[in-house]
Amino acid sequence: MDSFIAVLTIFVLAMIVGFEVITKVPPILHTPLMSGSNAISGITIIGSIIAAGAKYTTLASVLGVIAVAFATINVVGGFLVTHRMLEMFQKPKSDQKEKKS
Amino acid sequence: MPQALVNIAYLISALLFVFAFKGLSHPRTAIRGNLLGALGMLIAIVVTLMDKSIVSYELIILGFIIGGVIGAVLAIKVQMTAMPQMVALFNGFGGGASTLVAALAFIEATQLNKTLGTQETVATVASGIIGAVTFWGSLVAFGKLEGIIEERPVRYKGDQIVKILFALSSIILGIYFGLERDISYYWYLVAASSVLGVLLTIPIGGADMPVVISLLNSYSGLAACATGFVLNNNVLIISGSLVGASGIILTNLMCKAMNRSLTNVLFGGFGEIVAGADEDKVYGGKVKSASPEEVAMLLENARRVVIVPGYGMAVSQAQFAIRDLMKVLESKGIEVEFAIHPVAGRMPGHMNVLLAEANIPYEKLKEMDEINPTFEQTDVSIVIGANDVVNPLARTDSNSPIAGMPILDVDKSKTVVVIKRSLAPGFAGIPNPLFAADNTLMLFGDAKKMVQELINALKES
């Protein structure tokens, strides 16, 4: 029971920190906020790494690989795409993207 | 590595995630924030790789390669206009991973002859349900945004009851799983929740996507959080709750921007009725169509112009043409600003990303509350591919489906120019009296083409 209370405490406090910090994100950055938070939710990768490496059963290994792959897509894709978007919000640099249209 | 050191490393990761979100509070610090988040993730991964229960690395590396290549290719290749479906897809994978990790934790416990406590069992069930709903819900959202699945709401008689049945059976299967400690019940509940995820998202139409994507975003965080309760892992719980909070905040903002409750968005059946009856009454003989040359003359004499982009801008990829229009107008000494409605587009902040892609400085992108008082001093408002978010019925007609929805007050500017392909109704399915107003000129045509013609006309004069 004690350990449950301990993790519950962390959960509640983290939620509060989340609300405080994230309400300060301006609407123009809401899309990067979504993709960035998405990448962070890929933290399940650490659970999947252990499962894929421990080789308990064949089924567990297969599922482990899938889980690692899923979470890696989330992490790599999420941070990269966020970076791409945020770069566009930097001060315009001599209209380098002119040709793209 | 001793467990204490591992936990300290996880604590550092969690802190870096908090700083990542903090960095996002301003465009100047946002890049650094995102990099801090990535660093936090790297630390967590490296530390985990040193875990003593890992006996071989081949499978982990295989997963890294598959996921890394897919993720990187998707992230680098994706067009900015396709960003909503990309975010939806990534979301889904996060949810899917959580479901699998919870299952794996149970298999591990069985192998090591450990019995899971109540907390772990309940959390496993929660991971299974939330994760599966997130995965399938996100795939359906992706399909809708990509145009693979019908974008308009799909409804049938008794659909709410079917949804409730699937939700209940997921929970009942979860109870069985807890009592029997048999992994097959877990897979049954994942199957039931998968159907639930599809059923929950299928009935939701295109313009409600900002709410759905935000909600799925929060689910993917909560799924990670539940997995944290399974593994008793603090960094999972902290990051999961940060993401969950972020999604909840966005969902709330999006609902407020439409003056609708979350229940109404999820179950309300908005946008299924296409009203056509009173169109003639609203538009009959009152709509004035203009040519690009006429609008250009109008712009020549303006001092302040506000551009209002909507989903139509994204569809016709008009953001670069709009940037050029802004440049031409500014070279003539005209002040140009952009008015961004919170739910314009298909996800929160959609319009801002597209305009930033076209190198339009973010200082010019104004939020609704900030720009609304300035419309009275605006000579010309140009509405490009937006409809419901500028419909004055929201203010005047309490019976309208969009009654009370905060709108951009473009009708208060001296002249309104609406670039639109036809008078077809927007997502709400109602006519827009703005198009027939005395001070409104319609410029019928594709957004990109019309903006380019405007630029040509401006350059010639």
Of B256, B255, B251, B240, which Cα lies nearest the Cα of B215? B251
Q: How far is CA B7 from CA A43, B1, B25, B55, in A?
A: 14, 10, 28, 21
CB distance A31–B348 less than 8 Å?
yes
Q: Is A5 in contact with B231 (CB distance < 8 Å)?
A: no
Burial class (CB in 10 A: 0-12, 13-18, 19+), B90: buried
Average the pLDDT over each of A73-77, B252-256, B396-400, B433-437 and give the range with the smallest value.
B396-400
pLDDT of B117 reads 87
Alpha carbon of residue B201 to chain centroid: 13
Of B98, B88, B91, which Cα lies nearest the Cα of B149? B88
CB distance A40–B17 less than 8 Å?
yes
Q: Which residues 6+ apart lie within 8 Å of B459 measured at CB?
A: B328
B337 and B239 fall within a common domain: no
CB distance A31–B83 less than 8 Å?
yes
DSSP helix/strand/coil, B271: coil
B114 and B186 fall within a common domain: yes
User: Between A and B, how many residue pairs show a Cβ–Cβ distance under 8 A?
Assistant: 385
CB distance A43–B41 less than 8 Å?
yes
pLDDT in tens, B394-415: 888 887 778 888 999 999 999 9
Of B26, B272, B273, which Cα lies nearest the Cα of B152? B272
Q: How far is CA A55 from CA B52, B60, B104, B187, in A?
A: 12, 11, 11, 20
B66 and B194 fall within a common domain: no
How many angstroms separate the CA of residue B59 from the nearest CA in chain A? Answer: 6
pLDDT of B269 reads 56
CB-CB neighbors (< 8 A) of A17 in chain B: 18, 242
pLDDT at B316 over 60: yes
pLDDT of B247 reads 93
| Nearest chain A alpha carbon to B228 | A44
CB distance B51–A53 less than 8 Å?
yes
B258 and B331 fall within a common domain: no
CB distance B246–A73 less than 8 Å?
no
Mean pLDDT throughout B409-433?
88
CB-nearest to A44 from B76, B227, B353 is B227
> Of B267, B298, B332, which residue constitutes the final position of a domain?
B267
CB-nearest to A51 from B22, B101, B238 is B101
Band (pLDDT 50/70/90 cuts) for residue A91 is low
Whether residue B272 is contained in a domain is answered as: no
> Of B77, B93, B110, which residue constitutes the final position of a domain?
B77
Q: Which residues 6+ apart lie within 8 Å of B77 measured at CB?
A: none
ipTM of the complex: 0.90
Let me know how many helices (H) and strands (E) chain A has, helices first: 5, 0
Whole-angstrom distance between the N-terminal and C-terminal Cα of chain A? Answer: 60
Q: Which of B15, B35, B246 to mutate to test the interface with A (most CBs of A within 10 A)?
A: B246
pLDDT at B53 over 50: yes
Band (pLDDT 50/70/90 cuts) for residue A86 is very high
Whether residue B274 is contained in a domain is answered as: no
Whether residue B51 is contained in a domain is answered as: yes
Whether residue B273 is contained in a domain is answered as: no
CB distance A25–B24 less than 8 Å?
yes
pLDDT at A100 over 70: no
Mean pLDDT throughout B419-431?
83
Whether residue B162 is contained in a domain is answered as: yes
CB distance A73–B91 less than 8 Å?
no
Mean pLDDT throughout B191-198?
95
B194 and B311 fall within a common domain: no
Write out residues 250-279 of B within 8 Å (CB-CB) of A: 250, 253
Of all helices (H) and strands (E), which one includes residue B415? strand B415-420
How far apart are alpha carbons B239 and B228 in whole angstroms?
9
Q: Does A7 touch chain B (CB under 8 A)?
A: yes
Band (pLDDT 50/70/90 cuts) for residue A31 is very high
| Nearest chain B alpha carbon to A17 | B242
pLDDT in tens, A2-11: 788 999 999 9
CB distance B217–A38 less than 8 Å?
yes
pLDDT of B61 reads 95
How far apart are alpha carbons B75 and A49 in whole angstroms?
22
Write out residues 75-104 of B within 8 Å (CB-CB) of A: 75-76, 78, 80, 83, 86-87, 90-91, 93-94, 96-98, 100-101, 103-104
> Of B62, B77, B92, which residue constitutes the final position of a domain?
B77
CB distance B224–A38 less than 8 Å?
no
B142 and B196 fall within a common domain: yes
Mean pLDDT throughout B32-59?
93
Return the higher-pLDDT residue of B189 and B152: B189
Whether residue B182 is contained in a domain is answered as: yes
Q: Does B403 touch chain A (CB under 8 A)?
A: no
Longest dimension (CA), chain A: 62
SS (H, E, C) B361-402: CHHHEEEHHHHHHHHHHCCEEEEECCCHHHCCHHHHCCCCCC
**How many structural domains compose chain B?**
3
Letter string b/e over residues B397-422, b meaning 16 or more CB atoms within 10 A of that residue's CB:
eeebbbeebbbbbbbbbebbbbbbee
CB-facing half-sphere around the CA of B223: CA atoms within 13 A = 39
User: Which residue type occupies B318?
Assistant: A
Residue A100 main-chain phi, psi, to 5 deg: -60, -30
pLDDT in tens, B126-180: 999 999 999 999 999 999 888 888 777 777 777 788 889 999 999 999 999 999 8
Q: What is the mean pLDDT of chain B?
A: 90
DSSP helix/strand/coil, B437: coil
How far apart are alpha carbons B305 and B329 in whole angstroms?
9
User: Could you tell me the residue range of the domain that residue B410 belongs to?
Assistant: 279-460
Q: In what order do the strands lie in the sheet with B415-420?
A: B365-367, B335-340, B304-309, B380-384, B415-420, B440-444
B387 and B319 fall within a common domain: yes
pLDDT at A98 over 50: no
pLDDT at B82 over 80: yes
pLDDT of A22 reads 93
Tokens linked to B64: 């890294």
pLDDT in tens, B259-314: 888 887 777 655 544 444 567 777 877 888 889 999 999 999 999 999 999 988 98
Q: Does B23 touch chain A (CB under 8 A)?
A: no
B60 and B110 fall within a common domain: no
Tokens linked to B269: 């059946």
CB distance A64–B104 less than 8 Å?
yes
Q: Which of B208, B388, B411, B446 is catalytic?
A: B388
| Nearest chain A alpha carbon to B338 | A28
pLDDT of B441 reads 92
pLDDT at B194 over 80: yes
B379 among known catalytic residues: no
SS (H, E, C) B223-257: HHHHHHHHHCCHHHHHHHHHHHHHHHHHHHHHHHC
- Beta carbons within 10 angstroms of residue B286's beta carbon: 13
How far apart are alpha carbons B145 and B82 in whole angstroms?
8
B300 and B417 fall within a common domain: yes
pLDDT at B376 over 90: yes
pLDDT in tens, B443-455: 999 999 999 999 9
Q: Does B35 touch chain A (CB under 8 A)?
A: yes
How far apart are alpha carbons B5 and B361 in whole angstroms?
45
B381 and B332 fall within a common domain: yes
Whether residue B100 is contained in a domain is answered as: yes
Whether residue B308 is contained in a domain is answered as: yes
B335 and B284 fall within a common domain: yes
B104 and B216 fall within a common domain: yes
Mean pLDDT throughout B103-119?
88
pLDDT at A14 over 90: yes
How far apart are alpha carbons B222 and B385 in whole angstroms?
35
How many angstroms separate the CA of residue B16 from the nearest CA in chain A? Answer: 10
Letter string b/e over residues B290-316, b meaning 16 or more CB atoms within 10 A of that residue's CB:
bebeebbebbeebebbbbbbbbbbbeb
Q: Does B72 touch chain A (CB under 8 A)?
A: yes
CB-CB neighbors (< 8 A) of A24 in chain B: 22, 25
How many angstroms separate the CA of residue A3 from the nearest CA in chain B? Answer: 8
CB-CB neighbors (< 8 A) of B309 in chain A: none
